[in-house]
Every structure is written in C-alpha cells, then in structure tokens.
Structure 1
C-alpha cells in the first residue's frame, strides 16, 4: 500500500447513459469541489441525449462507447484512462459536496491499510415524491447503521486505489445493466484480502426519481435476483447492509404472516398468527420506523410500513427463485457431464 504521507490524486470517473438534467447537476457539483479532483473522466455509454456534449462543457475527459454496454464496461474504460492514485466512481444522478474530493484523498492518505472506500446517500434526496424519499432514506439508514468494515463495494459513491482495482481485474464486463457489478467487485476484493471501509461521513445526494415500476423492476430483477446468484456462487451469506440478520428474520416473518393470512380463510383461529407476525415485524424493524418518524414524521412512517413489508416479500421471493434456478442449472450441468 502507498505511504500515508503521500499527497494522493483523485480521478473521478462517471459512466452516463442519457443523464439529463441530473447529470448536469452532477458535473456542476464536481466543478465546485475544493480542491478540484486530479481529473474528471466521463464515459458516455451509448447515450442518445447528448450527455457527452454536456460533459464537454465542463472541460472533462470524454470517452464514448457507441452502443450501451453497461456501467461495468464504462467504468473499466474510464479506469484505464485515469492517471490518479485513487479512482473515485460517481453515478451520473448524484451530486457531491464541496469537500468530498478532499475527504476521499485525506481518508486514503491517513489509512494506508484501506484499499477501497464507500459512502452513502444523504438524508435529503433530490426527488420529492414519496417513493423517492422512502427508497433513498432507507438506503441512507442501512449504510449509516452498518459495520464500518464493509463487505461490498458501491459504484454510486465508491473509491479504490488504482493498483488494487487492476490487481483484482476491475468490474465484471458480463454485467450489461446497472445491477450488482459493484457488489461483485466488493466480494472479490474481500476474497483477495483487501479492506473496504464504509465511511459514514462520505455522503452524496441522489437525484433519481423512483416510480412504482422502476423501483420494483430495479429491486427485483437488477438487485435481488442477481445478488442471490452471487451469494450462491461464492457461498458467502454476509451479515451486512441489506443482508443483516434482522432483515433475514423479517423475510421469514413476512412469509409466515402471509401463510397465516391465507390459512385463516379456512381456519379463523389463525388470524391470531397474523397479529403475532405483524407484531414481530414491527418489533424487528422498530429502529427503521423510528428513523422515518424522526426524518419525516408519523404519517410518512406509517406509509413506509406496507412498502417495507412488500420489499421483504419480493426479496424473499427473489431468493427462492434465484436458489431454484441455481440448483436447477447445477443439476443440468451434472446430467450433461454424466
């Protein structure tokens, strides 16, 4: 690892595909950073809205991929071009704070044993609708209450030493959508013995507007299903971030509640089970709901509960489907091999 007394340079790398106004705000926030980064590299990933032209207005290095290939490949291309000691990956729909670059450089300089570092969303999401506030505040809560020795990487606000990034092979280009390519990189970093730190004071503002369809599609198809496959591939069910023990107990409780509710249609005595498991869910997640009360008040927190329970349901469903697919493929491979 580099000496802690070295002045480390930070290269900011931003993949973008049709970034819109959020991307302009992202670039503006980076331009206002004090001190500025060593360089800003924008990789326009098959954009059709002129995002690459917007990037040129901010005097960044612009790389273009003619056909959308996904953020993994875009970030890898940006990393190969970068010359800074630290590669700081930022999504095109977040804004940073004026001291973010300084914070990243100082953190790596003072902690030479840290190979990579991730932050979190702040508690003031850019989009004002309920789902965007709920989703981003939940992300903020999960990261702010997690262990500082992280088990995964995060591409929206994640920094890594350049030599470490290339030592583990960068992001996996087989991920062609914005999915779990950053989590998978984090798994390989941990397997190689590197330290990833969750720096809770390193925060960015998420500008994304979440709707019902976009939220469910992203959570189920782009996160939960592929993450299940990754867990089964590496056989590492971690107790961190969204995989904490309380979350797993909540998934079990939500399915027990549903089972009791369905069975109560024939045996009304099981309505008591519905009440019991509802109470278990409320107790398990009391710290989460107390957080929402403090942040947005009681009415907001009450609206969070059904969405949060729905989240546990489709995460559990995705795990069941992903597990079945995993062992079905293994069975086919064994049959083919025989």
Structure 2
C-alpha cells in the first residue's frame, strides 16, 4: 500500500493552522504521517500543531518555505509526499483523489490541485480578487502541465529526490524554478479533484509587493529554463494582456504631446480587458458587475507592477549576473 507523508511548512500561521490541520485530520484517506515544519514561528504555531497531535519539526532560524519543504522531506518516509500550505484547508477527499491519480498512472510523478472559489476566511475584496484569479487561471490549464503550485501537491518521493532539493536561496518563485527541473523528469497533472479553501492576502499594497518580488526573478528563471531545455510553464496571466499593459505604459508619455493622444493608452487598456474575456465573465458570474469593475482595476494595477518588475528583473541577465541562474 502506498504510504503518504503530509508536510505543512509553517511560519506564524495561527490564524489558519487549526483549520488547515483539522481538515487534514478529516480526510477520507488519512495520511500515514502528518508533519508540521515550523520555520521559527513566534506566535505559538508549533504548540498548536502539537496540541492537534501532529509531529512538529522545528527550524531554529527562519529560512523560508524552500528550506521548510526540504526539511520536511528529510524528516519523513512516505512513498508520496503531500505538500500543503498552512493557509489551505483541503476538502475531505483531496488526499484520496491525489493518490487515485498517482496509483492509476505510474508515469505521473506529481499531481496538484486548485483552490475553492470561496476563501478560507473572508477578509474582503482584495482577497476575493486573489482567490478568483487563482481559481480561474489554474482551471484553465487542467490536465497535463509543466509546472506545479506546491500549496496543495502530491509528489512521489523518488521523483522528488530525482529532481533535487528546493532552491533555498529563493523565497519567491521557488515553485517556478523547481518545476523547470521536475517537468523534464516526470509527468505532472493539475486536477480539480484536489481542492482546498485558501486564505489569501487581504490588503492591496502587500499583494502588489508580493507581485513585485515574484516578477523580479521571472526573466532570469525563464532563460535558465530554456537553457535546460525544459518546457515552458503555464501562464497565470494572458501574454496578450501583459503586452497590452506594457504598451499602455510605454504610450503614456504621448499625453505630454497632446491630451488627445491619451486615447492610445486608453485603447490599450481596453485591449488589456478584452485579452481575457473569459476571466471577466467568470468574475461577473460569481460576484456581479460592481465587483467585476473593482476586480479589473486591481488586475490592471497588478499587471503594471508585473510589467515593471519584469523590466527591472531583466537587468539580471546582463553579463556578470547570469551565473547565478545558470
């Protein structure tokens, strides 16, 4: 029988950890071991996990999620490792469904899931933006994929060991970098049968800050992926929308020549919205027209940060800075 080690990386997660672990303990297929890797929390997260009967592995100094995942793999023995973020509460059949996919096809080395359309804890409109965007783009790519979101993902231990350890120098985009190594070794499946409710960011400025941090390494990582011959990862955002946003920013100075020329970036912003009509319809169907307008405003702001971060991050591929991403 396939054994499962469920690993929860954790840092100051008392807001959601109980909900996360209670959902794990309610699985129709209980993991053979549940390990919470506490990354030097200061809020009692480790004690909460122990109170619920989980084994806790403590990291004395905060080192990030990559180190926590590596530590969890080292501390467990299951044939399959199920990585679960501490702010995700699984549906009761999530572990069983992940195992069914892995057991049903030995060539699939990793399976990961999607978020529910409702947040774990409702913290307002910015969080709804994040949740609905994440749900939509992942469901758009259901099936065999080239990348993994390790927030709720099951991977065979031998596949994990073959692809190597998570890069502990990365605190953002670590899943992107790891996927580039994993995809050349094993088939990866994204499924909507593995579902969890996620508690996401609820304040706009931190959300934009996270987008900035994640945008910076994307160009260097993409070039490194191409050098390794790995397949390209799936896009969270439409490339045409990113291009429209970039062109709109580039055309803004036209307004200095004549206010009438601001029609050019305005038209490009309209093109940005039309680049993903399915997303607009998806959001409208769940939250109505007023929220859809808010959603697209935030979506545009996120893209402005994304485009700017990509531009700044591209400087990292200049001579003398390439070695780190080789």
CA contact 2:111–2:189 (8 Å) conserved in 1:
yes
Q: Distance in 1 between the 2:321 and 2:139 partners? A: 38
**How far off its partner does 1:31 sit?**
1.0
Aligned to 1:184: 177
TM-score (norm 1): 0.89
Q: Where does structure 1 lack aligned partners over 5 or more consecutive residues? A: 1-6, 334-338
Q: What secondary structure does 1:297 align onto? A: helix
**How far off its partner does 1:85 sit?**
1.3
Q: How does 1:1-338 map to 2 (within 5 A)?
A: 7-126=1-120, 127-175=122-170, 177=171, 179-191=172-184, 193-221=185-213, 223-235=214-226, 238=232, 240-242=234-236, 247-330=238-321
Cα distance change, pair 147–33 in 1 and its aligned pair in 2 (3 A): closer
Cα distance change, pair 38–133 in 1 and its aligned pair in 2 (3 A): same
CA contact 1:232–1:323 (8 Å) conserved in 2:
no
**How far off its partner does 1:233 sit?**
2.1
**How far off its partner does 1:34 sit?**
1.3
- Runs of at least 4 residues of structure 1 off by over 4 A? 330-333
**How far off its partner does 1:314 sit?**
1.4
Deviations 1:8-63 (A, max 9, x none): 22210001011112011111111111121111011111111121111111211211
CA contact 1:95–1:206 (8 Å) conserved in 2:
yes
Deviations 1:277-299 (A, max 9, x none): 23322221211111100111111
Cα distance change, pair 197–17 in 1 and its aligned pair in 2 (3 A): same
Q: Distance in 1 between the 2:218 and 2:266 partners? A: 31
What value does the CA root-mean-square deviation take over the aligned residues?
A: 2.0
Cα distance change, pair 239–332 in 1 and its aligned pair in 2 (3 A): closer
**How far off its partner does 1:164 sit?**
0.8
Deviations 1:124-175 (A, max 9, x none): 1122300001011101100001152211121211110011111121212222
CA contact 1:118–1:153 (8 Å) conserved in 2:
yes
| Count, aligned residues | 320
Cα distance change, pair 74–271 in 1 and its aligned pair in 2 (3 A): closer
Cα distance change, pair 113–57 in 1 and its aligned pair in 2 (3 A): same
Q: What secondary structure does 1:8 align onto? A: coil
Cα distance change, pair 324–83 in 1 and its aligned pair in 2 (3 A): same
CA contact 2:167–2:178 (8 Å) conserved in 1:
yes
Q: What secondary structure does 1:103 align onto? A: helix
Q: What secondary structure does 2:16 align onto? A: helix
Q: Distance in 2 between the 1:208 and 1:298 partners? A: 22
CA contact 1:168–1:188 (8 Å) conserved in 2:
yes
**How far off its partner does 1:267 sit?**
2.2
CA contact 1:11–1:88 (8 Å) conserved in 2:
yes
